[in-house]
């Protein structure tokens, strides 16, 4: 459900820089550095923000859309048909797989016992169990949903076509806020201060920050 949140504010990037690869997919934050997945390179790259450089990379065949970090391991939407893979960040070895049973899956954010999943064309946010991937909750959102992450009890997601960053309150089942961002956003993550997103159109990563 959309709530009228007033005029849509334009957020301008604090910083932007190019990424390796040509098919910008997921983005995750591990507390110290960013992880970026690319569907063309079929790899996941660890990026040091201080030097804006790739520290190392791990293989992940058939990268598709979202990436997340659970505090220990990486989770990547990958494969055909799409599945959620739990990966060792040291070498990319697959520790576990969850079949998603939909090719519409995009952004993800993984917790201890469940994960949020975005469905792009349908415009849905789903909370699913990490046991078998069963749907626990489901909410209607804007279509063309891309990357997502949880911040301070809200689920934030990108809308690719309209270039939006949207906050969704899953407790109330309604949209709380929306902002415009430059380019077409795909992967999304939060480093504690700023949102980082992949700008697919311009093949760059950008950081934006909300005003207090």
How many Å apart are CA 133 and CA 129, to the nearest integer?
5
The DSSP 8-state label assigned to residue 191 in this structure reads: -
State how far the Cα of 98 lies from the Cα of 209, in Å rounded to an integer. 33
- Tell me the whole-structure pTM to 2 decimals: 0.95
Question: Which pLDDT value is given to residue 51?
Answer: 87
Distance CA 190, CA 144 (A): 20
Mean pLDDT, range 182-207, rounded to an integer:
97
- Interval 61-118: pLDDT, tens: 999 999 999 999 999 999 999 999 999 999 999 999 999 999 999 999 999 999 999 9
Q: Under a CB-based contact definition with an 8 Å cutoff, are residues 78 and 68 in contact? A: no
Q: Is the pLDDT of residue 5 over 70?
A: no
CATH class of 9-208: mainly beta
């Amino acid at each position: 459900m959309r709530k009228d949140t007033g005029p849509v504010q334009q957020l301008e990037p604090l910083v932007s820089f190019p990424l390796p690869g040509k098919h910008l997919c997921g983005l995750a934050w591990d507390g110290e550095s960013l992880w970026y997945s690319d569907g063309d390179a079929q790899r996941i790259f660890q990026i040091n923000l201080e030097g804006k450089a790739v520290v190392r990379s791990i293989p992940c065949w058939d990268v598709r859309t979202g990436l997340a970090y659970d505090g220990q391991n990486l989770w990547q939407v990958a494969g055909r048909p799409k599945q959620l893979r739990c990966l060792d960040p040291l070498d990319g070895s697959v520790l576990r797989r969850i079949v998603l049973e939909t090719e519409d899956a995009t952004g993800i954010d993984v917790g201890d016992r469940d994960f949020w999943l975005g469905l792009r064309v349908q415009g849905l946010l789903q909370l699913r169990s990490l046991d078998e991937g069963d749907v626990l909750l489901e909410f209607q959102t804007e279509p063309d949903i891309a990357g997502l992450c949880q911040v301070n009890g809200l689920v934030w997601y990108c809308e690719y076509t309209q270039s939006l960053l949207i906050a969704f309150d899953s407790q109330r089942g309604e949209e709380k806020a929306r902002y415009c961002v430059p380019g077409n956003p795909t992967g999304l993550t939060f480093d504690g201060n700023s949102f980082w997103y992949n700008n697919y159109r311009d093949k760059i990563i950008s950081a934006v920050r909300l005003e207090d």
